[in-house]
């Protein structure tokens, strides 16, 4: 028989193993990665059903896209992996009061940094699933360059410098505190981004893939090009939920890598799926299917407007300043001024120029 001290050590080791299995689920989160600093909780967990959670950033930290946590009988599935290792580790830290089930699979809806750059923390026991397009983009390094990355991440040092200059002109103490909080957030985001090692999916699909977890069916589908060349949507047919990434967001999505001409037809195929609730990559969950119609109408208006200016040899930058989409303001309240995102127009020009 084992001496008492040895038995105590063995028992303590068992407890440690158990604690490791239930709480420290992500091997890349110990120690916490750089850029985890935040002023208060980083996520609001919106329980759209008892075991389906739409996690939305609160604004205390740059976390990137929304994440969806699907709580299965024995494990968790995550849809979208956030902006950074820090964002993912904070997500799972804050999720502990709700569930400590082990994470087994992650779906990356597309290759953009704000959906894919937390993947390195999951470790070898977690399958990372995405389209083969998404895998190729991440493997080629296209999540750390291009229009989106330039606009939102490479611009961060300049944003910090501008925010500091603006802060130094503020005299009101409250406004100065708010400006400092904003500067801290941006500086944490720079630290978090510097720690990113883009990590491609370990399992890919070209058309569809269905997972069965306990009594739940989880469908992954590629239904056509839209926000990127390889967006995957996740359908929970029994729960009548669809997770759309940035193919369908609450407002107008980023179009810098998109296919404006093909996007409305892809959204038509989205509408044909069975769901009552949309969990978008940005903005709140919603039930109104007409939001999808509104976005189709927007693209069908924008595409020809861009093409007319392209054919008239107007530069892409000038076209972006001229295009007037204010007629859509009832559906997209921020469209109050003339002009559209130059990234959208540059992308559309690129596709038009590539046409034979």
Residue ranges in contact with Zn ion by CB under 5 A: 112, 246
Q: Which is nearer to Zn ion, 138 or 211 (CB)?
A: 138
User: Nearest distance from residue 245's CB to Zn ion, in Å?
Assistant: 7
Sheet arrangement for strand 241-245: 208-213, 216-221, 233-236, 241-245, 277-280
Q: Record the tokens describing residue 161, joined without a space.
A: 């410098």
User: Nearest distance from residue 40's CB to Zn ion, in Å?
Assistant: 26
Q: What is the three-class DSSP state of 278?
A: strand
Angle at 235 (CA atoms; ends 232, 241), nearest 5 degrees: 125
Strands (E) in the chain, as ranges, are: 43-49, 52-57, 67-71, 76-79, 103-107, 127-131, 203-205, 208-213, 216-221, 233-236, 241-245, 277-280
User: Residue 162: how many CB atoms within 10 A of its CB?
Assistant: 13
User: Nearest distance from residue 115's CB to Zn ion, in Å?
Assistant: 6
Q: Which is nearer to Zn ion, 160 or 222 (CB)?
A: 222
User: Nearest distance from residue 257's CB to Zn ion, in Å?
Assistant: 7
Strands (E) in 253-327, as ranges, are: 277-280
The CA distance from 243 to 115, in Å, is 13
Pairing relationship of beta strands 277-280 and 216-221 according to DSSP bridges: unpaired
The CB-nearest residue to Zn ion is: 112
User: Nearest distance from residue 138's CB to Zn ion, in Å?
Assistant: 13
User: Nearest distance from residue 297's CB to Zn ion, in Å?
Assistant: 21
Q: Which is nearer to Zn ion, 37 or 251 (CB)?
A: 251
User: Nearest distance from residue 344's CB to Zn ion, in Å?
Assistant: 13
Q: Which is nearer to Zn ion, 160 or 281 (CB)?
A: 281
Helix ranges restricted to H, 23-155: 85-95, 113-116, 132-139, 147-149
Q: Which is nearer to Zn ion, 112 or 310 (CB)?
A: 112
Q: Which is nearer to Zn ion, 38 or 282 (CB)?
A: 282
Q: Which is nearer to Zn ion, 112 or 147 (CB)?
A: 112
User: Nearest distance from residue 343's CB to Zn ion, in Å?
Assistant: 11
**C-alpha separations of 303 from 91, 317, 325, 348 in Å:** 37, 16, 11, 8
User: Residue 213: how many CB atoms within 10 A of its CB?
Assistant: 17
Q: Which is nearer to Zn ion, 104 or 256 (CB)?
A: 256
The CA distance from 298 to 325, in Å, is 8
User: Nearest distance from residue 5's CB to Zn ion, in Å?
Assistant: 56
Q: Which is nearer to Zn ion, 136 or 170 (CB)?
A: 136
Q: Which residues contact 196 (CB under 8 A, 6 or more apart)?
A: 84, 85, 113, 117, 120, 144
| Class of residue 80 by CB neighbours under 10 A (exposed 0-12, middle 13-18, buried 19+) | buried
């Amino acid at each position: 028989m084992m001496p008492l001290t040895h038995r105590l050590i063995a028992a303590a080791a068992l407890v440690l193993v158990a604690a490791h299995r239930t709480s420290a689920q992500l091997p890349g989160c110990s120690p916490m990665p750089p850029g985890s600093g935040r002023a208060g909780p980083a996520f609001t967990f919106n329980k759209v059903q008892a075991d389906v959670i739409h996690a939305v950033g609160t604004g205390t930290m740059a976390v990137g896209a929304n994440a969806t946590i699907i709580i299965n009988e024995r494990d968790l599935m995550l849809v979208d992996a956030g902006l950074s290792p820090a964002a993912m580790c904070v997500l799972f830290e804050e999720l502990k009061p709700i569930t400590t089930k082990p994470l087994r699979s992650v779906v990356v809806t597309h290759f953009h940094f704000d959906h894919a750059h937390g993947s390195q923390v999951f470790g070898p026991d977690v399958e990372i699933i995405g389209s083969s397009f998404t895998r190729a983009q991440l493997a080629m390094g296209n999540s750390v360059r291009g229009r989106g990355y330039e606009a939102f991440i490479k611009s961060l040092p300049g944003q910090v410098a501008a925010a500091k200059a603006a802060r130094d002109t503020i005299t009101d103490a409250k406004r100065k505190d708010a400006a400092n909080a904003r500067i801290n957030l941006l500086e944490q985001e720079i630290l978090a981004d510097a720690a990113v090692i883009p990590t491609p999916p370990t399992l890919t699909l070209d058309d569809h893939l269905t997972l069965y977890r306990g009594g739940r069916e989880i469908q992954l589908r590629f239904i056509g090009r839209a926000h990127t060349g390889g967006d995957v949507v996740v359908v929970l047919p029994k729960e009548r939920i669809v997770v759309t990434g940035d193919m369908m967001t609450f407002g107008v999505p980023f179009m810098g890598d998109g296919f404006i001409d093909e996007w409305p037809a892809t959204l038509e195929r989205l509408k044909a799926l069975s769901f009552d609730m949309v969990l978008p990559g940005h903005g709140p969950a919603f039930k109104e299917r007409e939001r999808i119609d509104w976005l189709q109408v927007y693209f069908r208006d924008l595409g020809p407007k861009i093409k007319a200016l392209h054919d008239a040899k107007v530069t892409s930058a000038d076209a972006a300043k001229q295009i007037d989409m204010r007629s859509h303001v009832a559906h997209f309240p921020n469209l109050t001024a003339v002009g559209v995102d130059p990234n959208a127009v540059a992308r559309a020009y690129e596709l038009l120029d590539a046409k034979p």
